[in-house]
Chains A and B, each alone.
Chain A
């Protein structure tokens, strides 16, 4: 089934540890996004990529990095996790050439303790 796959589904992480959240899509969408969702704040954009090889900063990029080595994968890395990064993380993609709707993964629930 075509779509976006995120891994892991949930994770408890000790503060200071490094963590990579994985995101893979099989729709050949050129644009991919990472959001975090926090109660009362809605979804906020962390980083985005308009095409393989390019990335950009969103609204809340500090403490996060991304890479886009190919069309399908867009991993999000927390270099040294802090408790304020406890959140639900969503990966999304869309085809900007055809101006499609955005498709979302099922999310990764991350708790930093």
Chain B
């Protein structure tokens, strides 16, 4: 059974710091992995989608990597800002309809 884990559950960093969020999954047979951002009381906003054949994706200050063989993905945020404060979720697509979500990392960037 596929399980997705995100560590740490919460993280506080000073503004300007580069940081890495971790996502691990137990079964390497995935179609893709998606990173989302969720603001309090809001829905999920897609940040990056990495297909199983890809190693990384970049969007602005965000870079996501995928290592299927080790069951890990990282989301790198460069030069963090207070506006980056949110919960970050990763999800693996394990079938046509089947997404398995981690429970998220709650990030706070201090001004």
Residues in chain A within 8 A of chain B (CB atoms): 31, 33, 40-45, 48, 50, 56, 58, 90, 92, 96, 99-107, 109
Q: Is the CB of A56 within 8 A of B97?
A: yes
Q: How many B residues, CB 8 Å from partner? A: 22
**Cα–Cα, bound, A99→B101 (Å):** 18
Contacts of A40 in B (CB 8 A): 103
Shortest A26–chain B CB gap in Å is: 16
**Cα–Cα, bound, A109→B43 (Å):** 11
Q: Is the CB of A101 within 8 A of B97?
A: no
Q: Is the CB of B103 within 8 A of A106?
A: no
Main secondary structure of the interface of A (DSSP, over half): strand
Tell me, yes or no, whether B42 is within 8 Å of chain A by CB.
yes
Contacts of B79 in A (CB 8 A): none
Q: Is the CB of A103 within 8 A of B99?
A: no
Known: A101-B34, A102-B34. A45 touches B99 (CB 8 A): yes
Contacts of B41 in A (CB 8 A): 107, 109
Q: Is the CB of B42 within 8 A of A96?
A: no
Chain B 39-58 interface 0/1 with A at a Cβ cutoff of 8 Å (1 = within): 00111111001010000000
Contact of B96 among A50, A101, A104 (CB under 8 A): A50
Q: Is the CB of A103 within 8 A of B46?
A: yes
Contact of A104 among B44, B51, B102, B104 (CB under 8 A): B44
Q: Is the CB of B97 within 8 A of A102?
A: no
Most chain B beta-carbon contacts within 10 A, residue among A40, A43, A99, A107? A43
